[in-house]
Amino acid sequence: MTTPPPPDNTVLALYPPKVNGQTEPVTGADIGVPLVAYDLVTDGEGAYVLVDPPSAGTLNPGDVIELWLKGETAILDSQTILDPNAITTLRIPKGRLHPDRVNELYYSIKRGSSNIGTSEPPLGMLYNRIRPGLKDRLTNPSGHSELALLLPEEIKNGVGAGFVSAEVCVAYPYCRAYDRISLKCNGELLSANVNPNEAPQPPNPGSEEPITICFIVDRAFLERAKRLDQKLHFSYTVTDQIGNGPDTDAPWSPVQTVDEDLDGTLLPMPILLERMEDFPGDDASIIDLEKLNGNPLLVIVVTADTRFVVGYGVVATFTAKVTGQPDVVVTVSGKVEADPFGQKKTCILEVPNDKVIPGSAVTVTYDVSKPAGDQVGTSAPAHAQVTGTRLVLKAPSIKEADGNSLAPVAAKDTLTAVVPAYANMIGTQLRVTWAGTAGAGSHTTELVTVTTQAPQNIALDNKVVAFNLNLPVTVTYEMIRNGGAPKESESLTLAVQRIADGDAQLPTPAIDGAVGNELDVNELEDQARTRVTGWPFIAQGQTLWLRYFGTKEDGSPFSHETYAGTVIPADGVPGGLLPLAPVDGLRELEDGSELQVEFKVGFTGSLNEQDVVTFPSRRYTIMATPKLMIDTYPMILDGHQVTLDDPLRKIQRYADPIGTVERRQAQGGTPPYRYHSSKPDIATVDEKGTVRSVGNGKAIVTVIDAKNSEASFEVIASNVYQCILSSQIFSSRTEILAWIESVGGGLESLPIPPIPWFNYLQVFSNLPYLGYTEYFYTGRTNATGGGLTNVICGGHGTYNFGWYHSYSAPESFPFRAIALRKNS
Specify the CATH number of the domain 397-496: 2.60.40
Distance CA 84, CA 87 (A): 8
| Burial class of residue 285, CB neighbours in 10 A (0-12, 13-18, 19+) | middle
The whole-angstrom separation of Cα 270 and Cα 381 is 7
What one-character-per-residue DSSP string does 525-540 give?
A: -TT-BEEEE--TT--T
- Tell which CATH classification among 3.30.70.3270, 3.30.70.260, 3.40.50.800, 2.60.40.1080 matches the domain 635-642+652-719: 2.60.40.1080
pLDDT tens sequence across 409-430: 999 999 999 999 988 899 999 9
Q: How far apart are CA 534 and CA 530, in angstroms?
A: 13
Report which secondary-structure segment, H or E, holds 53: none
Residue 607 identity (one-letter amino acid): L
- 815: CB partners within 8 A, 6+ apart: 729, 730, 736, 775, 776, 777, 791
Contact 150, 48 (CB under 8 A): no
C-alpha span between 279 and 294 (Å, rounded): 19
Which residues does 370 contact at the CB level (< 8 Å), separation at least 6?
309, 312, 313, 376
The dotted CATH code for 510-623 is: 2.60.40
Region of 797 (left: φ > 0; alpha: ψ -120 to 50; beta: rest) is left
- The three-state DSSP-derived secondary structure of 428-441 is CEEEEEEECCCHHH
DSSP run (H or E) holding 361: strand 361-369
For the chain, the maximum distance between any two Cα atoms, rounded to a whole number of angstroms, is 171
Beta bridge partners of 159: 260
Domain over 148-259 is classified CATH 2.30.110 = no
What is the β-pairing status of strands 690-693 and 683-685?
A: antiparallel
Measured between alpha carbons, how far is 756 from 165 in angstroms, rounded to an integer? 133
Sheet holding 530-533, edge to edge: 510-511, 530-533, 576-577
The strand ranges marked E within 388-428 are 397-398, 405-406, 415-419
Query: Residue 734's pLDDT is what?
Result: 84
Asked if residues 182 and 132 have their Cβ atoms less than 8 Å apart, the reply is: no
DSSP codes of every residue in 93-153: -TT-S-TTS-EEEEEEEEETTEEEEE-SS-EEEE--SS-TT---SS--TTS-TT-EEE--H
* Nearest-angstrom CA–CA distance, 600 and 610: 10
What is the number of other CB atoms lying within 10 angstroms of the CB of residue 571?
Answer: 9
Q: 188 near 260, Cβ under 8 Å? A: no
Q: What is the pLDDT of residue 54?
A: 86
Instruction: Judge if 148-259 and 510-623 fold alike in CATH terms.
Output: yes
pLDDT of residue 388: 86
* pLDDT the model gives residue 682: 95
**Cβ distance 411 to 462 under 8 Å?**
yes
pLDDT, mean of each 10-residue run, the chain (824 residues)? 47 84 97 98 96 84 96 96 94 97 96 89 97 87 91 90 95 98 97 97 96 97 94 97 96 94 91 89 88 87 95 97 94 95 95 93 96 92 89 92 94 95 91 94 95 96 92 95 80 94 94 92 92 93 96 94 95 93 94 95 92 95 87 94 81 81 91 95 95 95 92 95 86 84 72 59 58 68 50 53 54 73 74
According to DSSP, the β-strands at 328-335 and 375-378 are unpaired
Predicted pLDDT of residue 484: 64
Amino acid at 739: W
Q: Hey, what amino acid is at 727?
A: S
3 state SS of 513: coil
**C-alpha 21: how far from its chain's center?**
59
Number of Cβ atoms within 10 Å of the Cβ of 342: 7
Q: Cα separation of 198 and 217, whole Å?
A: 19
- Residue 237 has phi, psi (to 5 degrees) of -135, 175
Q: Could you tell me how far CA 180 lies from the centroid of its own chain?
A: 51
The CATH code belonging to domain 18-126 is 2.60.40
The string of DSSP codes covering 681-710 is TTEEE-TT-EEEE-SSEEEEEEEE-TT--E
The residue among 784, 788, 790 whose CA lies nearest residue 818 is 790
DSSP-assigned beta bridge partners for residue 561 = 547
3 state DSSP class of 759:
helix
Task: Give the three-class secondary structure for 658.
Answer: coil
Which CATH architecture is the domain 271-387 placed in? Sandwich (2.60)
Cα–Cα dist 378/705, whole Å: 112
With the CA atoms of 589, 590, 591 and 594 taken in that order, what torsion angle do they form, in degrees rounded to the nearest 10? Answer: -80
DSSP character at residue 589? B
User: Cβ–Cβ contacts within 10 Å for residue 270, how many?
Assistant: 24
Are the CB atoms for 427 and 447 separated by under 8 Å? no
Supply the pLDDT for residue 755: 55
Backbone angles phi, psi at 353, to 5 degrees: -60, -35
Question: What is the Cα–Cα distance from 104 to 125, expressed in whole angstroms?
Answer: 6
> For 21-26, which contacts have Cβ atoms below 8 Å and span 24 or more sequence positions?
21/47, 21/48, 22/125, 23/241, 23/242, 23/243, 26/126, 26/178, 26/202, 26/241, 26/242
Determine the Cα–Cα distance for residues 732 and 717; give it in Å rounded to an integer: 38
Could you give the CA distance from residue 335 to residue 349 in angstroms, rounded to a whole number? 10
Q: How far apart are CA 218 and CA 233, in angstroms?
A: 16
The domain limits of the chain are 18-126, 148-259, 271-387, 397-496, 510-623, 635-642+652-719, 721-822
Residue 811 has what pLDDT?
56
- Is-contact 382 363, C-beta < 8 A? yes
Q: What are phi and psi of 739, to 5 degrees?
A: -65, -45
